[in-house]
Chain A
Amino acid sequence: MMVFIRAWIFLILYSARRQLRSRKVFIAGGLLALTAGLVALMALRRGMTPEFFGEWVVVRLFGLFIFPLLMLIFGAGALADDRDEGTLVYLITRPLARWGIYLGKFLSVLPAAALFGIGGFWLLCQAGRLSDPEELQGIFERFAAAFLFAAPAYLALFHFFAAAFRHSMLISVTYVFFVEVFIGNVPGILKRVSIHFYTSSMVYEAGEAIGVQPPSRIIFQPLEGDLARWVLLGIALGFLLLGSWWFNGYEERERGV
């Protein structure tokens, strides 16, 4: 048993190291640097109010676009990298259960996702505070929880895509655009299929005290923060279980894009 646990722990550690050394880090870093520069520019030129920061930077720029894209880069890449390189064969012929590989790969992306997702958000908050640090005092602590809960949900979803589809990256981008960006902003309850809706609900609840509100409560109709938290946890757990079950029957057939 020790042999298998040792192999599994090593899988997590070595995969995490590979994630942090991959070219994706440059893409994610570039994306964050550009966004932080953008926020800094806005802050320095015109100043930054908590309302504007909450709605434009936290909900729209970071929550709707940057954060899902960062999670996609790491979440879909954990398994897809090995599939893409053709090295998955070395993993599945080792003494590791398939579900163990799936879970291990999921855990291995958490450090990179936390570094770029949560760390990236911290960076944006610092950039926003450049003009007047007092104005956005405690802004990171206020909203970080929403992204902490959203991260596993996004990662589990994209990780599942990577296990289920050969062109997982493309499917994931399609998902981000059509479901998160498009459906996530239509009126009615359809938007509840998007993860962004629950993240935004948490953000709006946390930001209520500083005046961060949805542009129209009638159209957006946010959930209570607690409920949104549970839904995000449910999504993460649900997709992890579904993916583990799915990957348990994974057969290595052929390579190719």
Chain B
Amino acid sequence: MKLDACAYRPWRGRLRSPIWRFWPIARSGLSLMFKRKIFWFFLLIGLLNFLFYFAVIYTLTRLKAEFALQGRKLPEFVQRFLFTETGDSYRQFIYAQNIVLMLMLAFCGALLIGNDFRFHAVAFYLSKPITRLHYFLGKLLAITALAALITLLPALALFIEYGVFTDSIEYWMDHSRLLFAILGYGALVSLAPAVVLMGVSAWFRRTIPIIAAWAGLFLFLPYVGSTLRNFFRKTGGGDPWGWSLLDFWANLRWISSVLFGAQLDRYEERWPWAALVVGAWMALAVWVFWRRVGKTEVVL
């Protein structure tokens, strides 16, 4: 019997370039996450902070307008309040998301990568005409996009909000550097932990060890770093800031000083060290991931 008679038809559409082969992996990863209630729970927690900042911006701009009408200036402490139009505010917002981001990513890692290794699904992927790189990029894109949902995108929304509540587009024009800084820091905060997560998930595979190791890395090490730094500051004088390099989030924040051009951070000149540490973590994670995927047996 001819294949046509069995209702088989050759693909008549246009095939995309091979480089796009990572896209279905990313898309299926995203749809898998969106189907999980617990993901929405974390997303909601992540967006609570956004709603709070959103309300603060609204209140501040209203107050500013009211005070301007009365020919008065906002009190100094209000102007220095939690969220103003400065770059440091957006940076602070993204930094404040780190705990929820850590928890959400722990879940993503267990579901999107750990399960692939545990239930031997990696072999299914690699039995298709894709390489390790496509698999890596697909998963990375999915995780980064999810992370961006609670970091980069809300920060951009706040930036837009601030501009909308002013009388002209001057705010955006005057602070155009902020837009790129938000994009840069948001992308960094979404991408760097996602890469590390891929290594951790590929190494540990099972949910409980992944979450334990992940929490250790992103909660325990920062805690150790701050304890040591405080201890040596109190007992020896000076500021042994090097201990804070154990804190992944602090490293990312230091790197962001360059993007924002912020002067408020006392340690901005230390960003090259921070970049080195973050780069080392990411390189280690990629190496682990690469080796793990390489060990997957594909019988063709």
Contacts and interface: CB of A to CB of B under 8 A. Distances in A.
A/B: CB atoms within 8 Å of each other: yes
Interface of A: 23-24, 27, 30-31, 34-35, 38, 41-42, 45-47, 52, 56, 60-61, 65-66, 69, 72-73, 76-77, 80-81, 84, 167, 169-170, 173-174, 176-177, 257
B47 interface: no
Given A61-B227, A167-B38, A170-B38, 17 more contacts: A27-B209, A27-B216, A31-B220, A38-B227, A45-B235, A46-B232, A56-B227, A60-B227, A65-B219, A73-B212, A84-B206, A167-B107, A169-B208, A170-B107, A170-B207, A174-B103, A177-B103
B29 to A, nearest CB: 13
B30 interface: no
B236 interface: yes
B68 interface: no
Contacts, number: 85
B49 interface: no
Contact of B235 (A24, A46, A65, A176): A46
Contacts of B211: 169-170, 173
Contacts of B107: 167, 170
B174 to A, nearest CB: 36
Contact of A56 (B99, B212, B231): B231
Contacts of A45: 232, 235-236
Contact of B224 (A38, A69, A170, A257): A38
B60 interface: no
A173 B231 contact: no
A42 B231 contact: yes
Interface string B212-228: 11011001100110011
Contact of B223 (A47, A65, A77): A65
